[in-house]
């Protein structure tokens, strides 16, 4: 019986009401969004302008709330990652090349091009130590991941220095690089291991415990090394040189795992970012070509790429992966911040506490609602929102076609009003669809001649805006011509139409120019293709 009823209900004729529909637009053939692209595009962009000169380095504090230091020109600015505003500034005598936080986030080390490495107290804004030993510009300084007492720095003199911060003395000079040392990173698993990269194309891995100032491993990148980063496992490093990023297996004897060469210009900075708190790690690289790319080194694939309006100098991802900071060469910091879910949860908790005062009442309500029986009067006053109970048989009503205002007017053959009403809605696709329907009814000319002054202005404004849009131009160009022909006198007389007409003329001229240049390009290409065909 149920089956039969359903068959009967579905048997009726299809609706014969056809609302005016805009032409369907082509579906994009691009792949659906990947988790990577979803994650990396979910940072809400927030740019910080007005910093002097290029952003040479970015460093995040390892301690919550993970404020970050941005080195630009002779200044290091400390930003709060919640508000993305600057809170403190540290001044130097020369251009700052690198910054690094200590593991407890209390101290900050920075190197400048005069060769000095300075250590600051973050809270007191005080220079605690000034370490001078480099004979040329110092290029990088790094605190070991857990060690609070030592520092690693390197510079244009080709020497890597291992510092005792408290005493302000060099423990060991590690000599081996034949050119400028530009970058280095400390192992996340062993506080005495660190790797440095140099313009002599090599990456050298050092161990501070080995006394003879000899590297324990050497890797040739094949290009001047710009940046180096340890991957979280501690067994692998990623290096950037020229436009390639290479991943090396240190434990496996310096074997290259994979390489990524999708940047067009020199890769300036690398960083490791985690997708969420439990997600996989990715290498984030930025380059002078203005692209930030996310590299999945597990699969050897670039999973996301984002373009910025300036050459990029530095990149940093906060340890809780809620903030991403990219520094440009023009003094812009392109920060991006994820919305914090944790805080949302907290707020929710608070809200629930507030509502719990009222929950007693709502429970009462619910019990009452459940108790509705045909014996109550209110049973018969149930509204549409009433949910069906389990054993109710649901009769589905066929949904009527929803008609918009212009559809209703078209149905009543009030063509001009339909046109005006759709023009007011400012949806160009709908307007063109209504116009096409009017053409099919042979009424568009009459509509145009019947338009009153204000409505004519509306139509002219629409035509001016959209008549050169490729999708609509075939219809709208002809219509524009018709409007100008039939209503020419009225349009000429009015002051307010002058601007529209002027714009219209400009648009058309521009379009003609574009067509002209396209034809020229075609003329250039055609003989080439012909030759290629031969």
Partner 1 sequence: MPINKDPSTPPPVIGKIGPYTVFMTPPATPKPPESPAAVSQKPNLPPPVLPPPQQFKSVASSEQDGSVLGFFKNAATKVQNAHSSVDDHLVRWFGLNQSKYQWALDEYYEGKGSKNRKKQEEGFRAFKRTKFCASASFYPEPPSASPSTLAAMIRGGRSHLTSPPSFSNDAKKLLVCTGNTVSVFSAATGLQITSLEGHTAPVTTLLVVPASTAAQKILSYCWTASLDGMIRYWDFSGPELLKTVDAKVPIYSMVIPSLLSEPQQVDSSKLVAYVSVEDASLVKEGSKELRGHIRRFDLAKERLSRGDTLKETEEPKSIVISPSGEFFGIRHKCKIHVWGVPSGGGSRNAVAKKMTLHHTKVINAFAFHPTERIIAAGDVTGRVLIWRGFGNRKLALGSQKKSVRSVVDLDNPGVRDGDDAESCTTWHWHSAEVNVLNFSSDGAYLYSGGREGVLVVWQLDTGKKKFLPRIGSPLLYFIWSPEPTLSSVVCADNQIHLLKMPSMEISRTISGIKVLCVFGFQPPPSLPKMYEGLSSTVAFDRSSGIAALCTENYCVQLYNLLNDRGISEVQVCERNHQPGDEITVVVTAVALSLDGSVMSTTEVKLPEDGIGGLVSLKFWESEPDNKTFTLSTIVYEPHKDAGVSAIAFHPTRSMAVSTSFGGDFKIWVCNSDKSQTDKDSSWICHAVGSYKKKPMTAAAFSGDGTVLAVAAENVITLWNPDKNILLSVLGATLTPITKLCFVGKSEFLVAASNFPKPELSVWNTSKLSLSWSYELRIEAVTSAVDSSTFAVLALVPKSFRKSKSKKNIFRGRDGAILLFNGSDPKPVSIWTVMKAQGGSISFLEGDKSQLRLAYVNGSHEYVVFDPNSDDTHERSAIGYEGLVGDEETGDFGYTSLYGQLPDYDKKRKDDAESLATPFVSSERPWETIFSGSTLNFPPLQKLCGEFFESLMEKSNSVVE
SS (H, E, C) 276-291: CCCCCEEEEEEECCCE
Closer to partner 1 by Cβ: residue 376 or 413: 413
Q: What are phi and psi of 226, to 5 degrees?
A: -95, -40
CA-closest candidate to residue 193, choices 182, 204, 201: 204
CA-closest candidate to residue 117, choices 67, 154, 75: 154
8-state DSSP, 462: H
Minimum CB separation of residue 27 from partner 1 in Å reads 7
Minimum CB separation of residue 523 from partner 1 in Å reads 7
**Token pair of 278, please?**
């439990």
CA-to-CA distance for 174 and 215, rounded, in angstroms?
8
Closer to partner 1 by Cβ: residue 180 or 462: 462
Asked if 195 and 237 touch (Cβ cutoff 8 Å), the reply is yes
- Distance, CA of 337 to chain centre: 10
Closer to partner 1 by Cβ: residue 170 or 439: 439
8-state DSSP, 200: T
Minimum CB separation of residue 293 from partner 1 in Å reads 26
Minimum CB separation of residue 32 from partner 1 in Å reads 11
Minimum CB separation of residue 533 from partner 1 in Å reads 4
CA-closest candidate to residue 333, choices 45, 82, 62, 75: 45
Q: Which helix (H) or strand (E) holds 438?
A: helix 428-440
Q: Which residues, including other chains, have CB under 8 Å from residue 321's CB and lie 6 or more apart? A: 273, 274, 275, 276, 277, 279, 338
**Token pair of 189, please?**
């698993």
Minimum CB separation of residue 339 from partner 1 in Å reads 33
Minimum CB separation of residue 50 from partner 1 in Å reads 42
CA-to-CA distance for 45 and 42, rounded, in angstroms?
9
- Cis ω for the linkage preceding 25 (within 30 of 0): no
Closer to partner 1 by Cβ: residue 365 or 520: 520
CA-closest candidate to residue 101, choices 58, 134, 53: 58
| Residue 57 half-sphere exposure toward CB, CA atoms < 13 A | 29
Minimum CB separation of residue 374 from partner 1 in Å reads 23
Minimum CB separation of residue 446 from partner 1 in Å reads 10
Minimum CB separation of residue 483 from partner 1 in Å reads 10
Closer to partner 1 by Cβ: residue 323 or 483: 483
**Contact positions vs partner 1 (CB under 8 A):** 12-14, 16, 18, 21, 23-27, 29, 435-436, 439-445, 470, 474-475, 478-479, 482, 518, 522-523, 525-526, 529-530, 532-534
- Distance, CA of 214 to chain centre: 44
CA-to-CA distance for 104 and 364, rounded, in angstroms?
53
Minimum CB separation of residue 300 from partner 1 in Å reads 24
Closer to partner 1 by Cβ: residue 13 or 385: 13
Closer to partner 1 by Cβ: residue 24 or 384: 24
Can you spell out the DSSP letters for 112-126? ETTSEEEEEETTTTE
Asked if 76 and 92 touch (Cβ cutoff 8 Å), the reply is yes
Q: Which residues, including other chains, have CB under 8 Å from residue 452's CB and lie 6 or more apart? A: none
Is residue 194 classed as helix, strand or coil in its secondary structure?
A: strand
Closer to partner 1 by Cβ: residue 342 or 529: 529
Closer to partner 1 by Cβ: residue 1 or 353: 1
Is residue 202 classed as helix, strand or coil in its secondary structure?
A: strand
Minimum CB separation of residue 360 from partner 1 in Å reads 49
Asked if 293 and 275 touch (Cβ cutoff 8 Å), the reply is no
Closer to partner 1 by Cβ: residue 12 or 390: 12
Burial class (CB in 10 A: 0-12, 13-18, 19+), 334: buried
Closer to partner 1 by Cβ: residue 474 or 502: 474
Minimum CB separation of residue 530 from partner 1 in Å reads 5
Helices (H) and strands (E) in the chain, counts: 11, 28
- Measured on CA atoms in the order 57, 62, 66, 67, is the torsion positive or negative? negative
Minimum CB separation of residue 510 from partner 1 in Å reads 17
Closer to partner 1 by Cβ: residue 201 or 408: 408
Closer to partner 1 by Cβ: residue 20 or 237: 20
Asked if 53 and 290 touch (Cβ cutoff 8 Å), the reply is no
Closer to partner 1 by Cβ: residue 160 or 483: 483
């Amino acid at each position: 019986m149920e089956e039969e009823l359903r068959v009967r209900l579905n048997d009726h004729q299809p609706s014969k009401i056809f609302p005016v529909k805009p032409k369907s637009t082509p579906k994009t053939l691009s792949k659906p969004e990947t988790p990577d692209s979803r994650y990396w595009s979910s940072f809400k962009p927030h740019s910080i302008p007005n910093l002097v000169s290029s952003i040479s380095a970015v460093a995040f504090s390892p301690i919550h709330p993970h404020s970050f230091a941005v080195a630009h020109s002779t200044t290091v600015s400390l930003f709060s990652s919640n508000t993305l505003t600057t809170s403190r500034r540290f001044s130097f005598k020369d251009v700052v090349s690198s910054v690094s936080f200590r593991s407890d986030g209390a101290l900050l080390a920075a190197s400048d091009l005069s060769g000095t490495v300075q250590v600051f107290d973050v809270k007191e804004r005080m220079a605690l130590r000034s370490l001078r030993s480099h004979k040329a510009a110092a290029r990088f300084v790094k605190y070991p991941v857990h060690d609070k007492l030592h520092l690693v720095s390197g510079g244009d003199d080709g020497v890597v220095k291992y510092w005792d911060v408290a005493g302000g003395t060099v423990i060991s000079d590690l000599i081996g690089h034949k050119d400028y040392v530009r970058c280095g990173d400390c192992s996340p698993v062993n506080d005495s291991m660190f790797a440095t990269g140099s313009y002599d194309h090599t990456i050298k891995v050092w161990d501070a415990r080995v006394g003879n100032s000899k590297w324990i491993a050497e890797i040739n990148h094949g290009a001047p090394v710009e940046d180096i980063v340890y991957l979280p496992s501690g067994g692998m490093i990623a290096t950037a040189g020229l436009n390639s990023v290479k991943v090396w297996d240190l434990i496996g004897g310096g074997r290259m795992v994979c390489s990524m060469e999708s940047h067009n210009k020199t890769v300036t900075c690398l960083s490791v970012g985690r997708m969420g708190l439990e997600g996989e790690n990715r290498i984030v690289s930025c380059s002078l070509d203005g692209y930030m790319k996310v590299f999945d080194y597990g699969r050897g694939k670039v999973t996301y790429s984002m373009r910025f309006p300036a050459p990029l100098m530095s990149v940093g991802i906060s340890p809780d992966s809620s903030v991403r900071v990219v520094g440009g060469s023009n003094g812009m910091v392109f920060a991006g911040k994820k919305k914090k879910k944790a805080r949302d949860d907290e707020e929710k908790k608070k809200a629930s506490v507030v509502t719990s005062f009222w929950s007693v009442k709502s429970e009462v309500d619910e019990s009452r609602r459940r108790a509705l029986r045909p014996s109550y009067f209110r049973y018969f006053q149930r509204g549409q929102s009433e949910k069906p109970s389990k054993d109710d048989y649901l009769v589905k009503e066929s949904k009527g076609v929803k008609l918009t205002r212009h559809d209703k007017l078209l149905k009543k053959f009030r063509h001009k009003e339909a046109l005006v009403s759709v023009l007011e809605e400012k949806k160009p696709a709908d307007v063109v669809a209504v116009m096409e329907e009017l053409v099919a009814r042979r009424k568009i000319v009459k509509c145009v001649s019947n338009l009153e002054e204000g409505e004519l202005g509306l139509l002219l404004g629409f035509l001016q805006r959209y008549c050169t849009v490729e999708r609509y131009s075939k219809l709208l160009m002809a219509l524009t011509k018709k409007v100008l022909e039939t209503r020419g006198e009225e349009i000429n007389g009015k002051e307010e139409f002058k601007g529209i007409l002027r714009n219209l003329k400009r648009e058309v001229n521009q379009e003609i120019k574009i067509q002209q240049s396209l034809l020229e390009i075609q003329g250039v290409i055609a003989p080439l293709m012909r030759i290629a065909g031969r």
